Amino acid sequence: MSKGFASSARMAFLGGLLLLCYAALGARLVWLHVVDREALLKPLAKVRPMLIPEAARRGDILDARGARLATSRSEILLGVDPHSLLPRDERKWVELAALIELPEAELRDRFQPRFRRAGARGEEGDDAGEAPVPFAVPAARGGEDEQWPITWVKLREDVSESVYERVRRLDIRGVYGIRHYRRVYPSNELAAHVIGYVNREHQAAAGIEAYADFYLRGQQGWRVGERDGRNRELPQFASREVPRRDGYSVVLSIDSTVQDIVEQELVQLAARFEPRKASIVVSDLDGFVLALANYPSFNLNEFNRVPKAEEARMKNAAVADIYDPGSVFKIVPAAGALEERLVTPQTVLDCTVSRLAHRGRLLSLPAEDHKMGNLRIGEILSHSSNRGAAQLGMMLGEERLERYARAFGFGAKLGFPVGGEVAGILHPHQRWYPIDITRIPMGHSVSSTVLQMHQAMAVIAAGGVLLRPQVIREIRDAANETVYRYGRTEIGRAVSPRTAAQIAAMLVGVTRKGGTALEASIEGFDVAGKTGTSQKFVDGQWSKKHHIASFSGFFPAAQPKVVITVIVDDADHKAPGGVAYGRTVAAPSFKRIGERLIPILDIRAGAAAVPALLVARQGGGAR
């Protein structure tokens, strides 16, 4: 054979060696895929695709001037996989403990590898358990005695971005962070009952936070991918991605400056009179609330520290609690009688009479707080005559009095978006007792919320129209572009503009010399308003020692710019003479708030004083 070719023996050897390699490879494949298949697949069964969430930022709640009332602060949830730690990193643990302000002994305890029996789950709130992101451990398979490594132990949940960056530079294998957002309220108690809060489970629990949650919460994004041993994401293995969508921001009509003035006034009221509770509402002439506050209140950043016995302070009393409005309600029968042309501003009623016939019955009229005589309609309001109001109600009759009361907003929810608004109590006239036609006109046998009484007074200021009270001005997207703007919303017309103007003029007499609330007058302005002092029902009877004092009004009377209502509950024990009258407890607060609002809201006296013939003459009571 030629020397240029291999011998037959060599070819046979090479062929046999090649066949042997193929046989070994085949045997190995058979071993891997058939013989040892279950043992080899078992570790792989513990691995699942990594879902990497990307938290959406909750939108801000802003006041009318753009100040943040609620915002979201970026924080890091820091944890460790104890099974991934390397001994060579132990020298860095002391520095890590100092960075996250965790005692070194506690850090080392959390770094200890731990296991859970197959099928067991950690309790809610445990620091150890499955990772918030499912890194590698799915629900267990196999026997009940099988042990599974715990790959997530929480170290701290409120690590700042700057601290986390320093933690990352330590480069400790197995220590990783997940970005989330914590809700914070920069002004603490300011407008607490309007804003509401997000609880520790990141659920909107009250106020605007809950009402506008659909807009505020945004949409969490996520990716399916992998990370290396140092918890670094490997983009090349990402298989799917859904980008996050940050929440929209909500702009309120609340003006932080006005709100602060109101809350300062409540603090002064509380210090002076020690009432059981108090509420103040301020709104503009389009029905937008500039301030709404209650005493007592709470710190939004510490909502979970309010003792259980004091949780009532978290309720928005201005819309969720009811009271008898008392004499402020007298605007309803007066307006109704004028609207129906049953009386004119010059009509005179005998307010000394104690009994009158009505529908075949002789009814007793309510007692007066002070001696009254013959009064014009404006004087009935400025002197707060109970018998005069009762006669106006009797002129209207049950059906029309109920109709006007409902037209002014009593007996039904007004649609205020937050606070658990209730409808108050105004029974259908068919269910009234015969005596009710003399008591309801003076604000008894009817119950309302503070906001309902405020909106009823706003009917007069707004020219006879009942407006829906609103607190949201705009919705803005993540790029701060306005996507929706709220406007003035009318529920319905209660009385004509003419009647509203007549009542407004008459209410000026309340704050002038001889009226029941000279204490509410503001120098240089015509103030229209009405006092109220209603007895509370205590221990099964009407109490002479427990009252609700109120004042609701607006100014300037001829061209109103702002409506203010002050309600103070049970301040008698500190009130002058032991009785909390509207004029002595609530009216001064109206005056102080109004005076401070003049420069802030650029309120000007405007038109000349209202016609003198419509204003009540001097002389009156103390309500």
Residue with tokens 């042990």: 147
**Is residue 615 pLDDT above 50, yes or no?**
no
Give just the sign of the alpha carbon dihedral 230, 235, 237, 243: positive
Within 8 A by CB and 6+ apart from 415, the residues are 421, 468, 469, 491
Q: Indicate the range of 187-201, 230-244, 545-559 predicted with least confidence.
A: 230-244
pLDDT tens track for 70-119: 999 988 889 988 888 888 888 999 999 999 999 999 999 999 988 876 55
Q: Which two tokens stand for residue 88?
A: 């060579």
Q: Indicate the range of 123-127, 154-158, 169-173, 225-229 predicted with least confidence.
A: 123-127
Q: How far is CA 291 from CA 4, 43, 275, 540, in A?
A: 105, 62, 20, 35
Contact 290, 253 (CB under 8 A): yes
Contact 420, 207 (CB under 8 A): no
Q: Which two tokens stand for residue 507?
A: 């209410």
Strands 61-62 and 249-252: parallel
Q: How far apart are CA 421 and CA 463, in angstroms?
A: 25
In this prediction, residue 612 carries a pLDDT of 38
pLDDT tens track for 465-491: 999 999 999 999 999 999 999 999 999
One-letter amino acid for residue 412 of the chain: A
Strands 490-493 and 465-467: antiparallel
pLDDT tens track for 294-316: 999 999 999 999 999 999 999 99
pLDDT tens track for 261-272: 999 999 999 999
Long-range contacts of 109-112, Cβ-Cβ distance < 8 Å, separation of 24 or more: 110/80, 110/82, 110/153, 110/154, 110/155, 111/80, 111/82, 111/85, 111/153, 112/82
CA angle 80, 84, 89 (to 5 degrees): 85
HSE at residue 532, side-chain half, CA atoms within 13 A, is: 32
Of the candidate CATH numbers 3.40.710.10, 3.40.30.160, 2.60.40.1120, 3.40.50.300, the domain formed by 256-303+320-614 belongs to 3.40.710.10
Q: How far apart are CA 85 and CA 91, in angstroms?
A: 12
In this prediction, residue 84 carries a pLDDT of 83
Q: Give the mean pLDDT of 517-527.
A: 96
Contact 529, 511 (CB under 8 A): yes
Q: Which two tokens stand for residue 390?
A: 């009762």
Q: Map out the domains of the chain as residue ranges.
A: 51-102+150-252, 256-303+320-614
**Is residue 68 pLDDT above 90, yes or no?**
yes
Q: How far apart are CA 445 and CA 412, in angstroms?
A: 16
Q: Give the mean pLDDT of 217-221.
A: 87
**Is residue 198 pLDDT above 50, yes or no?**
yes
Q: Give the confidence band of 9 by pLDDT, cuts at 50, 70, 90.
A: confident
What is the largest distance, in Å, between two alpha-carbon atoms of the chain? 149
Q: Give the mean pLDDT of 592-610.
A: 83
pLDDT tens track for 341-387: 999 999 999 999 999 999 999 999 999 988 899 999 999 999 999 99
Enclosing H/E stretch for 591: helix 587-600
Q: Give the confidence band of 570 by pLDDT, cuts at 50, 70, 90.
A: very high
pLDDT tens track for 148-167: 788 788 999 889 889 999 99
> What's the mean per-residue pLDDT of the chain?
87
Picking from 304, 284, 282, the residue whose alpha carbon sits closest to that of residue 194 is 282
Q: Which two tokens stand for residue 535?
A: 């007895």
Cα dihedral 407→390→334→544 (10° resolution): -80
Q: Give the confidence band of 242 by pLDDT, cuts at 50, 70, 90.
A: confident
Percent of the chain with pLDDT over 90: 68
Within 8 A by CB and 6+ apart from 44, the residues are none
In this prediction, residue 610 carries a pLDDT of 47
Global pTM reads 0.82
Eight-class DSSP state of 90:
G
Contact 226, 135 (CB under 8 A): no
In this prediction, residue 24 carries a pLDDT of 81
**Is residue 229 pLDDT above 80, yes or no?**
no
Q: Indicate the range of 1-5, 187-191, 442-446 predicted with least confidence.
A: 1-5
pLDDT tens track for 127-152: 555 445 444 344 444 555 567 788 78
**Is residue 39 pLDDT above 90, yes or no?**
no
Phi-psi region of 456 (alpha: psi -120 to 50; beta: other; left: phi over 0): alpha
In this prediction, residue 542 carries a pLDDT of 80
**Is residue 293 pLDDT above 80, yes or no?**
yes
Contact 606, 369 (CB under 8 A): no
CA angle 501, 503, 505 (to 5 degrees): 70
Contact 390, 365 (CB under 8 A): yes
Give just the sign of the alpha carbon dihedral 184, 187, 189, 194: negative
pLDDT tens track for 405-458: 999 999 999 999 999 999 999 999 999 999 999 999 999 999 999 999 999 999
Q: Which two tokens stand for residue 72?
A: 């979201």
Of the candidate CATH numbers 3.90.1310.10, 3.90.1150.10, 1.10.8.80, 3.40.50.2000, the domain formed by 51-102+150-252 belongs to 3.90.1310.10
> Which alpha helices (H) appear in 31-175, and where do they start and end?
37-45, 93-99, 104-110, 161-170
Q: Give the mean pLDDT of 216-240.
A: 62
Q: Give the confidence band of 463 by pLDDT, cuts at 50, 70, 90.
A: very high
Q: Give the mean pLDDT of 318-332.
A: 97
Q: Give the confidence band of 5 by pLDDT, cuts at 50, 70, 90.
A: low
